[in-house]
């Protein structure tokens, strides 16, 4: 998978300046720009799969909103507000040197996009909203407030599993014995030299996991999960779609490829036809982060 370029832009806040990180995909000279902005507790690399696809035709910008990812933290905790984020995005668009952008916003990123799009002379040409609207119900805010800001970093899978057990009353997770394998919905990301496993309920981090499985054109179909134990992680997707030339990522299945169906030049590896799960070994995990 092609890797994005990491940049920073200085933005103004009530206590001074802070740096906001953003990930750039595609041709930096392309005048057609798509800005993808993540949700409340997420970061710009959530959009890896979408950005890689859009980068064929667009310059794609995925910021880490201040306080997340590679961006600075604010000196004043009260500064984490939608109007402040909108101001940061105005600075970002100015840095990009373009008059208009198309906006893809998930959850909080959608609210930021709404705020920017509502301004006179807005640079937002088109707005795509995901998992958000102009109003948020009080019950939803209460649920978000119940977990945001809680400690969410552990050194081992066992430590994370302890907390998962406490929060698993609604069966958001399916866990085996804490001393054995834990089967959870998860995503893996790279931060500096560390391999981080992000675990969460069904749907959490799926974009990132899919991106990490896009090795040489392999794509994921359906609910993917990860088996983790003591620093090891194995991805278990429901099915894989292999583009021509990508079969070497699964050498043990090479002899089965000629028997698998081909749709529009893509070979569909279906565990039901193979008779066993498709398991991809991921790099060792050094830290665990859990999403409620």
User: Which pLDDT belongs to residue 172?
Assistant: 34
pTM as predicted: 0.57
More confident residue, 113 or 227: 113
Say what the pLDDT of residue 225 is.
65
Q: Give the pLDDT mean for 50-57.
A: 92
Q: Which residue has the higher pLDDT, 155 or 50?
A: 50
Query: Domain 5-138 adopts which CATH fold?
Result: Rossmann fold (3.40.50)
pLDDT for res 25: 96
Query: Where are the domains positioned within the chain?
Result: 5-138, 152-290
Q: How far is CA 18 from CA 70, 85, 89, 116, 222, in A?
A: 12, 12, 13, 20, 39
Q: Residue 16: pLDDT band by 50, 70, 90 thresholds?
A: very high
Residue 211 has pLDDT above 80, yes or no: no
**Helix (H) or strand (E) segment spanning residue 48:** helix 48-54
For the stretch 65-79, pLDDT in tens is 999 989 999 999 899
Split at pLDDT 50, 70, 90, the class of 1 is low
Q: What is the pLDDT of residue 141?
A: 77
Average pLDDT, the chain: 77
What pLDDT, in 10s, does the model give residues 216-273?
556 666 555 666 665 666 777 777 777 776 666 677 777 888 888 887 777 888 888 8
Report the alpha-carbon distance of residue 259 to residue 158 in Å, rounded: 41
Task: Give the model confidence (pLDDT) of 120-170 as tens digits.
Answer: 999 999 999 988 877 777 777 787 777 676 656 666 655 655 655 454 433
The radius of gyration of the chain's CA atoms, rounded to the nearest angstrom, is 20
pLDDT score, position 192: 56
């Amino acid at each position: 998978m092609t890797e994005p370029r990491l940049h920073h832009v200085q933005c103004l806040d009530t206590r001074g300046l802070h740096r906001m990180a953003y990930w750039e995909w595609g041709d930096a000279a392309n005048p057609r720009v798509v800005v993808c902005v993540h949700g409340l507790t997420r970061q710009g690399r959530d959009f890896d799969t979408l950005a890689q696809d859009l980068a064929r035709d667009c310059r794609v910008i995925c910021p880490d909103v201040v306080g997340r990812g590679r961006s600075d933290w604010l000196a004043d905790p009260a500064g984490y507000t939608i109007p402040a984020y909108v101001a940061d995005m105005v600075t970002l668009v100015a840095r990009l040197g373009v008059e208009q952008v198309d906006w893809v916003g998930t959850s909080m990123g959608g609210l930021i996009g709404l705020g920017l799009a509502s301004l006179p002379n807005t640079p937002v040409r088109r707005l795509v909203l995901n998992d958000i609207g102009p109003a948020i119900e009080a019950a939803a805010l209460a649920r978000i407030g119940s977990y945001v800001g809680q400690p969410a970093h552990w050194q081992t899978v066992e430590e994370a599993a302890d907390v998962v057990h406490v929060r698993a009353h609604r069966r958001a997770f399916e866990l085996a014995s804490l001393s054995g394998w834990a089967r959870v919905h998860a995503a893996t990301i790279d931060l500096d030299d560390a391999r981080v496993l992000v675990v969460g309920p069904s749907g959490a981090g799926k974009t990132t996991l899919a991106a990490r499985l896009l090795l040489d054109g392999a794509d994921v179909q359906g609910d993917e999960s990860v088996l983790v134990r003591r620093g090891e992680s194995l991805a278990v997707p429901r099915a894989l779609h292999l583009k021509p030339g990508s079969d070497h990522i699964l050498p043990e299945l090479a002899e089965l490829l000629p028997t698998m169906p081909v749709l529009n030049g893509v070979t569909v590896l279906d565990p039901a036809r193979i008779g066993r799960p498709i398991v991809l070994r991921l790099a060792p995990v050094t830290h665990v982060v859990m999403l409620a």
